[in-house]
C-alpha cells in the first residue's frame, strides 16, 4: 500500500492552499483494515464510509433509512423475503493496476454476502474471516441471497426480522467488487482486497501512514455526482485525516487552523470551542453505550457475587459526573435515552462498598484479589476519557481490597486483543449505526445458536434468557411489544451483572467556520461528501 507521512505544518499548507480546496479532519485513531466487512470500529468506519456504499444508508443527520446502491426495496407478505432493485450505471473506483471493465451489478452483491455466508468461499478466510456485523446480526437469520437479474437481488430470511433494513444500513455491510476480487485471486494477492480499497463512494484512498494520516481524493464518477445529489458529491479536491489519539492535540490543531474538523474534543473544552472566533461547537445526540465487562473465562468472574461486588464498589455518580463532564447520566439500561427501548426505571447498581466487601468475603475473597482493568485509548461518545475512568474505578476497587492494573494498547490492537478474550475486565462500548435497540445488545452481549459469543462480546457472557428475549424481539414488528421485550432483557442483564454500564454523552465536534454542510451523524458515521470549504 502507498504511504504518506503528513506533518502538522504540511497539513496547514494543504488546508490553506489557494490552488486546492483540501478538507483537513483530525481523527482519533488509525483504521484497522480497509474492508468494512472485517470491522465494527467506529474509527475505521469513519474512513471507510467515504469510500464504500451499502444497498441502503441512514440519511445524514437523521434516523431515516434511504436508498443507496439499491434504488428501492420490497418485502414479501410473510416478511421473509426482501427484494432490492439495484441502481444502474454505478461506477467502481480504480486502484493501482486494476481498472474495472463493468458497472456495479447483482454479482457484486452476491460476492459480498457469499464471502460472509459460505465457509468454502475462496475469500471466506482471507483477512481472518471475522465478519463481525454479519456474524452477529445475520448469520443465523439469512437463508440465501439470490440473483433475480443483473439489477435485482432477493434476500431470503429464515424468519421475519424486524430490524433487517436497519441492519442493512450498517457500514460493515457495504458492497465490494466481485471483479476486483477475481483479478486479485488470479494474481495470487487476494489480501489486497482488504487493504487497497475499491468502492463506489465519493472518495478514493490515495495514501495511508499508520498513526499519522489518511489521504483521500475525490472519485469524480461516483454515482452521487452522476445523479446530481449534492449530499453524495465530493465538493473538495482532497481530504487529509490527521490521526491523533490525544483529544487536546486534535483541538489545538483545530484552533491553529491545521484541522478544519476535529472529532471528539474533550467534553471539558466545550466552552473553549464556543469562545473561539474560528470554530463552531457542534453537539450531536448520538445514541451510544459504554461499559466495563467481566471475562467469563476467569473463574472469579463466573461467580455472580464477585461481579456484583465490583459493580457496587464503583462510585458511578461521581465517575459519570467527572468523566462525562456533567453531560452523562447514571443508568442500569444498556439502551441509551436517545433511542426507543430505553428503560428509565432501571437503576444502576448502588454504590455500597461495605456490601461489596461482604460479597467478596462470601465468594471466598475476604482479602480481595488482583486483576487487570483495560482502558479505552481513544475518545468516543460512550467513553470520553478511558484512562481517567479506569483510574477512578481502580481507586474504588482498591478500597475493597481489589488491585487493578490498568492496561491499554493502540486502538486497533486494543480491539483485536479484546476480541481475542485477553481482557480480564475490558472497557468497551458502541455507537448505534441504525435506529433500532437490537444493535448494542446483539453486538456486545449475545451468542450464536451454537453458543459462540459474538466477536464484540469480549467477556464471553452467554445467557439463554437474555438471548431468548432478543430473538423474540427481533422476530416481531410491533414496536410496543418489542420495547417490552428489550426492557425485560435489560432487567435480566442488570440481575446477572455481566458488565457495568458507565454511560454516554452527546458527541462534540469542533468545526471551522469556513466549513459548510458538515452534518455529524446521529446514527452511523458522518459523510464528507457534500462538505465544502470557503
Sketch the domain layout of the chain as residue ranges. Answer: 1-35+201-284+507-534, 52-180, 288-503
Neighbours of 209 (CB within 10 A): 16
pLDDT confidence band for 8 (50 / 70 / 90):
very low
Please tell me the CATH superfamily of domain 288-503, with its number: Dipeptide-binding Protein; Domain 3 (3.10.105.10)
Of 13-27, 43-57, 145-159, 357-371, least confident by mean pLDDT is 13-27
Mean pLDDT across 230-252: 96
Q: How long is the chain?
A: 534
Q: Does pLDDT of 333 surpass 90?
A: yes
pLDDT at 216: 98
Q: With the C-alpha atoms ordered 87, 88, 93, 98, is the resulting torsion angle positive or negative?
A: positive
Percent of the residues in the chain that have a pLDDT greater than 70, as a whole number: 97
Mean pLDDT across 255-281: 95
pLDDT confidence band for 14 (50 / 70 / 90):
very low
pLDDT at 329: 85
Q: Does pLDDT of 340 surpass 80?
A: yes
Element of type H or E holding 376: none
Angle between helical axes of 386-398 and 316-323 (0-180°, round to 10):
160
Grid coordinates belonging to 52: 464504500
Grid coordinates belonging to 512: 471551522
pLDDT at 10: 42
The pTM of this model reads 0.80
Do residues 106 and 150 make contact, with C-beta atoms less than 8 angstroms apart? yes
pLDDT at 310: 98
Do residues 411 and 43 make contact, with C-beta atoms less than 8 angstroms apart? yes
CA distances from 44 to 31, 300, 517, 524, 534 (A): 4, 34, 22, 12, 27
pLDDT digits (tens, 9 = 90+) for 76-133: 999 999 999 999 999 999 999 999 999 999 999 999 999 999 999 999 999 998 898 8
pLDDT at 80: 96
> Torsion angle, CA of 304/307/313/319, rounded to 10 degrees?
-140
Q: Does pLDDT of 17 surpass 90?
A: no
What is the fold, at CATH topology level, of the domain defined by 1-35+201-284+507-534? Answer: D-Maltodextrin-Binding Protein; domain 2 (3.40.190)
CA distances from 145 to 99, 152, 181, 325 (A): 27, 11, 19, 47
What is the fold, at CATH topology level, of the domain defined by 52-180? Answer: Dipeptide-binding Protein; domain 1 (3.90.76)
CA count, 13 A, side-chain hemisphere, 214: 28
Percent of the residues in the chain that have a pLDDT greater than 90, as a whole number: 81
Q: Is 366 exposed, middle or buried (0-12, 13-18, 19+ CB in 10 A)?
A: exposed
Mean pLDDT across 157-171: 94
Chain centroid to CA 34: how far?
14
| Average confidence score pLDDT of the chain | 93
What is the greatest pairwise CA distance in the chain? 71
Higher pLDDT, 243 or 9: 243
Amino acid at each position: 500500500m502507498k504511504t504518506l507521512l503528513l506533518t502538522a505544518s504540511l497539513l496547514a499548507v494543504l488546508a490553506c492552499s489557494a490552488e486546492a480546496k483540501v478538507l483537513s479532519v483530525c481523527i482519533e485513531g488509525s483504521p484497522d483494515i480497509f474492508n468494512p466487512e472485517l470491522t465494527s470500529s467506529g474509527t475505521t468506519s469513519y474512513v471507510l464510509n467515504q469510500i464504500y456504499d451499502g444497498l441502503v444508508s441512514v440519511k445524514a443527520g437523521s434516523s431515516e433509512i434511504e436508498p443507496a446502491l439499491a434504488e428501492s426495496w420490497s418485502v414479501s407478505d410473510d416478511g421473509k423475503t426482501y427484494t432490492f432493485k439495484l441502481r444502474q450505471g454505478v461506477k467502481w473506483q480504480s486502484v493501482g493496476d486494476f481498472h474495472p471493465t463493468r458497472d456495479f451489478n447483482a454479482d457484486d452483491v452476491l460476492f459480498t454476502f457469499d464471502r460472509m455466508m459460505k465457509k468454502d468461499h475462496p475469500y471466506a478466510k482471507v483477512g481472518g474471516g471475522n465478519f463481525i456485523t454479519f456474524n452477529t446480526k445475520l448469520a443465523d437469520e439469512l437463508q440465501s441471497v439470490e440473483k433475480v437479474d443483473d439489477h435485482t437481488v432477493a434476500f431470503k430470511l429464515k424468519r421475519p426480522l424486524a430490524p433487517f433494513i436497519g441492519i442493512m444500513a450498517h457500514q460493515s455491510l457495504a458492497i465490494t467488487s466481485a471483479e476486483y476480487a477475481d483479478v486479485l485471486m488470479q494474481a495470487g494477492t487476494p489480501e489486497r482486497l482488504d487493504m487497497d480499497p475499491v468502492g463506489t463512494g465519493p472518495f478514493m484512498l490515495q495514501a495511508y501512514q499508520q498513526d499519522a494520516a489518511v489521504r483521500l481524493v475525490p472519485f469524480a464518477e461516483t454515482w452521487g455526482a452522476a445523479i446530481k445529489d449534492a449530499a453524495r458529491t465530493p465538493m473538495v479536491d482532497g481530504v487529509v485525516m490527521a490521526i491523533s489519539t490525544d483529544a487536546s492535540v486534535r483541538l489545538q490543531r483545530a484552533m491553529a487552523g491545521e484541522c478544519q474538523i476535529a472529532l471528539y474534543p474533550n467534553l471539558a473544552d466545550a466552552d473553549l470551542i464556543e469562545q473561539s472566533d474560528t470554530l463552531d461547537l457542534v453537539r450531536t445526540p448520538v445514541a451510544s453505550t459504554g461499559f466495563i465487562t467481566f471475562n467469563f473465562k476467569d473463574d472469579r468472574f463466573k461467580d455472580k457475587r464477585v461481579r456484583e461486588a465490583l459493580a457496587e464498589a464503583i462510585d458511578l455518580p461521581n465517575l459519570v459526573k467527572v468523566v462525562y463532564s456533567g453531560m452523562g447520566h447514571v443508568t442500569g439500561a444498556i439502551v441509551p435515552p436517545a433511542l426507543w427501548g430505553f428503560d428509565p426505571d432501571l437503576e444502576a447498581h448502588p454504590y455500597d462498598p461495605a456490601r461489596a466487601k461482604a460479597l467478596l468475603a462470601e465468594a471466598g475473597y475476604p482479602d480481595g484479589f488482583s486483576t487487570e482493568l483495560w482502558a479505552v485509548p481513544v475518545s468516543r461518545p460512550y467513553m470520553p476519557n478511558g484512562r481517567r475512568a479506569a483510574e477512578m474505578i481502580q481507586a474504588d476497587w482498591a478500597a475493597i481490597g481489589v488491585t487493578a492494573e490498568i492496561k491499554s494498547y493502540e486502538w486497533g490492537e486494543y480491539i483485536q486483543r479484546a476480541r481475542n478474550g485477553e481482557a480480564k475486565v475490558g472497557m468497551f462500548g458502541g455507537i448505534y449505526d441504525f435506529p433500532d435497540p437490537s444493535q448494542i445488545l446483539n453486538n456486545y452481549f449475545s451468542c450464536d445458536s451454537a453458543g459462540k459469543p459474538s466477536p464484540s462480546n469480549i467477556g464471553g457472557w452467554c445467557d439463554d434468557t437474555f438471548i431468548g428475549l432478543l430473538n423474540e424481539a427481533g422476530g416481531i414488528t410491533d414496536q410496543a411489544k418489542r420495547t417490552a421485550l428489550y426492557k425485560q432483557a435489560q432487567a435480566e442483564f442488570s440481575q446477572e451483572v455481566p458488565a457495568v454500564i458507565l454511560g454516554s454523552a452527546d458527541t462534540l465536534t469542533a468545526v471551522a467556520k469556513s466549513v459548510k454542510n458538515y452534518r455529524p451523524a446521529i446514527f452511523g458515521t458522518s459523510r464528507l461528501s457534500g462538505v465544502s470549504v470557503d
